[in-house]
Structure 1
Amino acid sequence: MFTQCFSSTPRSARLARRLVAHRLDGWGHAYAGEVNEAAALITAELAANAARHGRTVPARDFRVGLSEAADGTVRIEVTDTRAERLPVVAGVVDPDAETGRGLLLVEAMACRWGVMPRPDGPGKTVWAELRVSGRSD
C-alpha cells in the first residue's frame, strides 16, 4: 500500500500522477505498460478533481492511496474533505467545453469506480479499480 498527502493545487495533481506511475513501475508495471498508463491517468483525473472541487478551504490537503491485491486488482483512492460535492458523470459534454470529461475517462478505463465516506474524518474517497492481466517485467 502506498499513500501520500498533497496540497490542493494543480501542481500536486501532476505530482500525484507521477508518483503513482513511479510506484507502479517499482511494483513491476512498466511506465509504458497499459496498467501504469491507465492508473496514472485515473490518478490525474481524480487528483485534479480533489484539488479543484474537494477542498473546503484553500491549501486543504487531499490524499492518494494505491494498492495491489493478490487477485490482480490495482486500486486508486483519492480522499478529500468535501463530502457534499460528490462526483457525477455527465452524460453529454458540450464539445466546446474545456472541462467535464475526466470522470468519463475514469469510467471508461476502470473496471469499477465509486465513492465512499472518508473513513477518518469529514469528506469522501473516490476510488477506481483496474484488473491486471499480467505483468510487464
Structure 2
Amino acid sequence: MNHATPDVGAPAGTFTQLLSSTRRGARLARLLTVTELRSWGAPDDLTERAEIVVAELAANAVLHGRVPGRSFRLTLVYDAAAGHLRIEVTDARGDAYPHRTACGTEGDALRLGGRGLALVTALADHWDCVPYPPGGKTVRAALSTRRETTP
C-alpha cells in the first residue's frame, strides 16, 4: 500500500510502504526512498545520506527483525521548509533491539557485520528505537540538510 501524500500547499511529504522482509524488500526500500525524496525536491546531500540510512535500517529489519510471514514498514516524513527528514523502519521483532557499539575496537577489522549502525550514527543527526505494539519495534532516524558555513 503506497501512501505518497504530499499536502498541497504544505512543505511536507509523507510516504509509507509495507515491504517484504527479504533482501529484495530492503533493496526496494532504498530505491523508493531515493525516488520519493527526488520527487519532493530534497537536496542531493540529504537524499544520498537517507539512501544509506534506509539501506542499513532495512537490511537490519530483514536480518534481525524478520518474523516469517510478516513485512516491515518504511515511513518517510520530509519537511522541506525545516530541512528535516524523519525515517522510520518498523519490524515485527520487539524482542531484538539494536545496540550501539563502539567502532574501532580490537577485532573490528575482522568482523563481517555490525558496522551498519555506525554508519547510521555518522550520517543521521540522531537515531533511536521504540516499541511498536503489540510486538514490534520502530527504529527512527532524523536527518537535516547541512547548512554550508563560510570560513
* TM-score (ref. length: structure 2): 0.80
Change (3 A) 1:29 1:71: closer
How big is the alpha-carbon RMSD for the aligned residues of Structure 1 and Structure 2?
Answer: 1.5
CA separation in 2, counterparts of 1:130 and 1:16? 17
- Give the corresponding residue for 2:72: 62
> Following TM superposition, by how much is the alpha carbon of 1:26 offset from its aligned partner in structure 2, in angstroms?
0.4
CA separation in 1, counterparts of 2:127 and 2:84? 12
Q: Which runs of 4+ in 1 moved over 6 A?
A: none
With CA pairs under 8 Å and 6+ residues apart, which has the higher RCO, 1 or 2? 1
CA separation in 1, counterparts of 2:38 and 2:146? 15
> Following TM superposition, by how much is the alpha carbon of 1:116 offset from its aligned partner in structure 2, in angstroms?
1.0
Identity of aligned residues (%): 46
How many positions carry a matched residue from both structures? 130
- Give the corresponding residue for 2:136: 123
CA separation in 1, counterparts of 2:122 and 2:72? 24
> Following TM superposition, by how much is the alpha carbon of 1:20 offset from its aligned partner in structure 2, in angstroms?
0.3
Structure 1: runs of 5 or more not aligned: none
SS of residue in 2 equivalent to 1:117: strand
Structure 2: runs of 5 or more not aligned: 1-13
Which residue of the other structure, out of 79, 84, 101, is the alignment partner of 2:95? Answer: 84
